[in-house]
Structure 1
Amino acid sequence: MLAFAAVVLTSHVSITLAEPSPKALSPAILNRTVTATLPDSQHIFPPGAGAEIANSQCMICHSAGMVTRQPPLSMSVWKSEINKMRTAYGAPMPEDQVDALAKYLTTVNGKP
């Protein structure tokens, strides 16, 4: 099993991987660092009822562009996607904001 730690600095992520068996691996393998530069997202969601929820909740993990480039989805599919982010990935979004966000995402990038 790999253990990892991540440090996020603005749009830069650094991940250090460590193997569990120090006797079997060299020191170079035990402490290696992988660096990735993420796309800079200076953009926010388009204005509208629910944009403040999208900007404060979705942009914790996603850029506004990544979300708005999704195929047009119905409100029920957006709700399912939002709830998946909450339950499977631990998004800290309050349940009482799901409907408002799904409605907003359907309005800006969906099938009514």
Structure 2
Amino acid sequence: MKPALIALALRVGLVTLATSVAGFATAAGPAQRMSQQQATREVHVSLPPGTTSFPPGPGSDLADQHCVVCHSAGMVLRQPPLSFDEWKAEAAKMRTVYGAPFPAENIDAIARYLTSINGKQ
């Protein structure tokens, strides 16, 4: 599962994680390995819902929808002020390098919004 999808699942508040030890060799050798079915277990994790969102304004809905999939609004707001071009490059990097699941056509709108709340002139 991609990190952005894992983060989205965590943000929703309930995640099922499956772990497996079937591929590990035991001291007794391959004949003693546990089968995949025997070694898999589910762990349910409930996380409290996030309470922080971006300040209201044109584009805040996009930032709330796309940016908090991977990190908190507070983390973004603590960044040094960036120009529109710098925010645009950051948004593009989040999408192309880290796999943030938002369409390329939203990059400019997100950069405009982030510039409006945390930009340098």
What is the TM-score normalised by the length of structure 1? Answer: 0.69
Question: What residue identity is the alignment partner of 2:26?
Answer: K
Structure index of larger Rg: 2
| Cα RMSD (Å) | 3.3
The match for 2:109 among 82, 100, 111 is 100
1:66 to 67, 71, 75: 75
Supply the AA of the counterpart residue of 2:119.
G
Residue 60 of structure 2 corresponds to which residue in structure 1? 51
Higher relative contact order structure (alpha carbons within 8 Å, sequence separation ≥ 6): 2
Q: TM-score, normalised by structure 2?
A: 0.65
Q: 1:110 aligns with which of 102, 116, 119?
A: 119
Equivalent pairs counted in the alignment come to: 105
Deviation at 1:11, TM superposition (A): 8.1
Is the contact between residue 53 and residue 101 of structure 1 (CA under 8 Å) also seen in structure 2?
yes
2-structure distance, mates of 1:74, 1:13: 40
Identity of aligned residues (%): 45
Shift of 1:13: 9.1
> More helix per residue: 1 or 2?
2
Specify the SS of the correspondent of 1:111.
Answer: coil
